[in-house]
Amino acid sequence: MKPIIAIPADIRQFDGTTWHAVQTQYVRAALKAADVMSLLIPALEEGNDPDAILDRVDGLLVSGSATNVHPSLYGGEVRESDGPFDPARDATSLPLIRRALDRGIPLLAICRGIQELNVALGGTLATEIQDQPGIWDHRNPLQADRDVNYAIRQDVVIAEGSCIARYLGAGRVPVNSLHRQAISKTAPRLQVEALADDGTVEAVSVIDAKGFAIGVQWHPEYWAEKDGPSRALFEAFGTAARTYAASRQR
């Protein structure tokens, strides 16, 4: 049987009501590249039981989103211009991240996910990084063609001997990094794995993790079926989920 992973949903408003939603690109990458099935976890400000959810899955995929982590969760200034925010997503993802790490459940955190991982472990975020001296504009160009928006157009430098180098190799790797926020103060339990040329943190791993636990600021899910490094990252996550699933059946 295929392993099953959890993906926390976002809150979205359309058709005059509230929806719990996950972008297709994450579900498809999990299925086609990681070879796992997905369960979508509703975003609730209260009522989710992280352990009850994690008891039933073999991995946790924390996706990107158009929303940002609320600054109150890391002691930042709350400005509506740094939104939109999704408190229900925050309240769902952060406890799941902490408990997945405690239990050794494989974790892959992407874009908003790496930011949630950093905040969950005590780090902080920088907002509107494109306004900081020397920092590139990493924002989504917001063209009508999503392939243009998610084009692989930037290199990151992966550190020698890092966890992610096992799967992607060390040195320069081309990626598609789209974001307005980024890690500022790195959480004590995180190791920086890759940087953009402007110094932006692009990948981290959890130092004391019991298993696979990696966060990336870019979007490997979008090209996971075509791009080698993107696929390799999802394949590694899928392998970790299968290993965890096998350990649960002993």
pLDDT at site 101: 98
Catalytic residue among 116, 193, 202, 221: 221
All domains in the chain, ordered by first residue? 4-248 (3.40.50.880)
pLDDT at site 1: 86
Catalytic residue among 111, 116, 138, 163: 111
Give the dihedral sign, CA 106/112/116/119. positive
pLDDT at site 99: 98
Give the tens place of pLDDT for each residue, 164-202. Answer: 999 999 999 999 998 888 999 999 999 999 999 989 999
Cis-peptide into 141, omega within 30 deg: no
Report in angstroms the alpha-carbon separations of 107 from 69, 131, 202.
18, 31, 16
Residue type, 107: L
pLDDT at site 174: 96
Has 70 been annotated as catalytic? no
Give the tens place of pLDDT for each residue, 84-108. Answer: 999 999 999 999 999 999 999 999 9
Q: How far apart are CA 150 and CA 4, in angstroms?
A: 27
Has 163 been annotated as catalytic? no
Report in angstroms the alpha-carbon separations of 72 from 127, 141, 233.
13, 28, 31
Report in angstroms the alpha-carbon separations of 13 from 16, 21, 81.
7, 10, 19
Has 111 been annotated as catalytic? yes
Q: List the chain residues with pLDDT less than 70.
A: 250
Query: Six-digit token pair at 104?
Result: 């050794």
Q: How far apart are CA 186 and CA 189, in angstroms?
A: 8
